[in-house]
Amino acid sequence: MSDKKFSITDRIKSFGFAFEGIAVFFKTQHNAWIHLLAAIMAVAAGFYFRIASEEWCWIVTAIALVFITEMFNTAIEFLCDAVSPEIHPQIKKVKDVSAAAVLLSSIAAVVIALVIFSPKIML
Protein backbone atom coordinates (compact mmCIF):
# COMPACT_ATOMS: atom_id res chain seq x y z
CA MET A 1 0.00 0.00 0.00
CA SER A 2 1.24 3.46 -0.87
CA ASP A 3 2.06 6.09 1.77
CA LYS A 4 0.72 8.76 -0.56
CA LYS A 5 -2.09 10.81 0.98
CA PHE A 6 -5.56 11.01 -0.51
CA SER A 7 -5.91 13.83 -3.00
CA ILE A 8 -9.04 15.08 -4.77
CA THR A 9 -6.82 16.41 -7.55
CA ASP A 10 -5.31 12.95 -8.10
CA ARG A 11 -8.78 11.38 -8.15
CA ILE A 12 -9.90 13.90 -10.78
CA LYS A 13 -6.77 13.15 -12.81
CA SER A 14 -7.54 9.42 -12.63
CA PHE A 15 -10.96 10.08 -14.16
CA GLY A 16 -9.19 12.02 -16.91
CA PHE A 17 -6.95 9.01 -17.61
CA ALA A 18 -10.01 6.76 -17.80
CA PHE A 19 -11.68 9.08 -20.30
CA GLU A 20 -8.45 9.13 -22.33
CA GLY A 21 -8.62 5.33 -22.37
CA ILE A 22 -12.18 5.42 -23.67
CA ALA A 23 -11.09 7.85 -26.40
CA VAL A 24 -8.16 5.60 -27.40
CA PHE A 25 -10.51 2.63 -27.46
CA PHE A 26 -12.96 4.29 -29.86
CA LYS A 27 -10.20 5.86 -32.00
CA THR A 28 -8.31 2.61 -32.51
CA GLN A 29 -10.83 -0.23 -32.39
CA HIS A 30 -13.25 -0.80 -35.24
CA ASN A 31 -15.19 -3.36 -33.20
CA ALA A 32 -15.90 -0.70 -30.57
CA TRP A 33 -18.13 1.07 -33.09
CA ILE A 34 -19.94 -2.17 -33.93
CA HIS A 35 -20.55 -2.78 -30.22
CA LEU A 36 -21.74 0.81 -29.80
CA LEU A 37 -24.21 0.41 -32.66
CA ALA A 38 -25.51 -2.84 -31.15
CA ALA A 39 -25.84 -1.15 -27.75
CA ILE A 40 -27.77 1.76 -29.26
CA MET A 41 -30.08 -0.67 -31.04
CA ALA A 42 -30.68 -2.64 -27.82
CA VAL A 43 -31.43 0.53 -25.86
CA ALA A 44 -33.75 1.80 -28.60
CA ALA A 45 -35.56 -1.56 -28.65
CA GLY A 46 -35.83 -1.41 -24.87
CA PHE A 47 -37.57 1.96 -25.04
CA TYR A 48 -39.72 0.90 -27.98
CA PHE A 49 -40.94 -2.26 -26.24
CA ARG A 50 -41.06 -0.60 -22.81
CA ILE A 51 -39.14 -3.39 -21.16
CA ALA A 52 -39.34 -3.92 -17.40
CA SER A 53 -36.68 -2.66 -15.00
CA GLU A 54 -35.37 -6.21 -14.49
CA GLU A 55 -34.96 -6.55 -18.24
CA TRP A 56 -33.13 -3.20 -18.33
CA CYS A 57 -30.73 -4.58 -15.74
CA TRP A 58 -29.91 -7.51 -18.04
CA ILE A 59 -29.53 -5.29 -21.10
CA VAL A 60 -27.23 -2.86 -19.27
CA THR A 61 -25.20 -5.75 -17.85
CA ALA A 62 -24.84 -7.33 -21.29
CA ILE A 63 -23.75 -4.05 -22.87
CA ALA A 64 -21.25 -3.40 -20.08
CA LEU A 65 -19.89 -6.95 -20.27
CA VAL A 66 -19.20 -6.67 -23.99
CA PHE A 67 -17.51 -3.27 -23.67
CA ILE A 68 -15.46 -4.38 -20.66
CA THR A 69 -14.20 -7.54 -22.36
CA GLU A 70 -13.44 -5.64 -25.57
CA MET A 71 -11.51 -3.02 -23.60
CA PHE A 72 -9.52 -5.67 -21.72
CA ASN A 73 -8.85 -7.41 -25.03
CA THR A 74 -7.60 -4.13 -26.48
CA ALA A 75 -5.37 -3.47 -23.45
CA ILE A 76 -3.94 -7.00 -23.66
CA GLU A 77 -3.25 -6.58 -27.38
CA PHE A 78 -1.51 -3.23 -26.80
CA LEU A 79 0.64 -4.80 -24.08
CA CYS A 80 1.45 -7.86 -26.17
CA ASP A 81 2.46 -5.70 -29.13
CA ALA A 82 4.74 -3.61 -26.88
CA VAL A 83 6.36 -6.67 -25.28
CA SER A 84 6.72 -8.69 -28.47
CA PRO A 85 6.29 -6.72 -31.71
CA GLU A 86 7.24 -9.80 -33.72
CA ILE A 87 4.96 -12.82 -34.04
CA HIS A 88 5.41 -15.16 -31.08
CA PRO A 89 3.42 -18.37 -30.46
CA GLN A 90 2.74 -17.60 -26.78
CA ILE A 91 1.65 -14.03 -27.55
CA LYS A 92 -0.70 -15.44 -30.20
CA LYS A 93 -2.28 -17.68 -27.55
CA VAL A 94 -2.74 -14.71 -25.20
CA LYS A 95 -4.38 -12.65 -27.94
CA ASP A 96 -6.57 -15.55 -29.06
CA VAL A 97 -7.82 -16.23 -25.53
CA SER A 98 -8.60 -12.55 -24.90
CA ALA A 99 -10.45 -12.38 -28.23
CA ALA A 100 -12.39 -15.50 -27.21
CA ALA A 101 -13.55 -13.68 -24.06
CA VAL A 102 -15.02 -10.95 -26.26
CA LEU A 103 -16.71 -13.55 -28.44
CA LEU A 104 -18.28 -15.28 -25.44
CA SER A 105 -19.52 -12.02 -23.93
CA SER A 106 -20.98 -11.02 -27.30
CA ILE A 107 -22.76 -14.36 -27.65
CA ALA A 108 -24.15 -13.98 -24.11
CA ALA A 109 -25.37 -10.47 -24.99
CA VAL A 110 -27.16 -11.77 -28.08
CA VAL A 111 -28.79 -14.55 -26.06
CA ILE A 112 -29.94 -12.03 -23.44
CA ALA A 113 -31.37 -9.81 -26.18
CA LEU A 114 -33.16 -12.77 -27.77
CA VAL A 115 -34.66 -13.86 -24.45
CA ILE A 116 -35.92 -10.34 -23.74
CA PHE A 117 -37.00 -9.19 -27.19
CA SER A 118 -38.15 -12.34 -29.01
CA PRO A 119 -41.44 -12.67 -27.09
CA LYS A 120 -42.18 -8.98 -27.71
CA ILE A 121 -41.44 -9.23 -31.43
CA MET A 122 -43.50 -12.42 -31.82
CA LEU A 123 -46.66 -10.78 -30.48
pLDDT score of 101: 98
Is 1 a residue whose pLDDT tops 80?
Answer: no
Which domains are seen in the chain, by residue range? 8-122 (1.10.287.3610)
**Per-residue confidence at 60, pLDDT binned at 50, 70, 90?**
very high
Please, what is the average pLDDT of the chain? 96
What string of DSSP letters covers the chain? ---PPP-HHHHHHHHHHHHHHHHHHHHH-HHHHHHHHHHHHHHHHHHHHT--HHHHHHHHHHHHHHHHHHHHHHHHHHHHHHH--S--HHHHHHHHHHHHHHHHHHHHHHHHHHHHHHHHHH-
What is this structure's pTM? 0.90
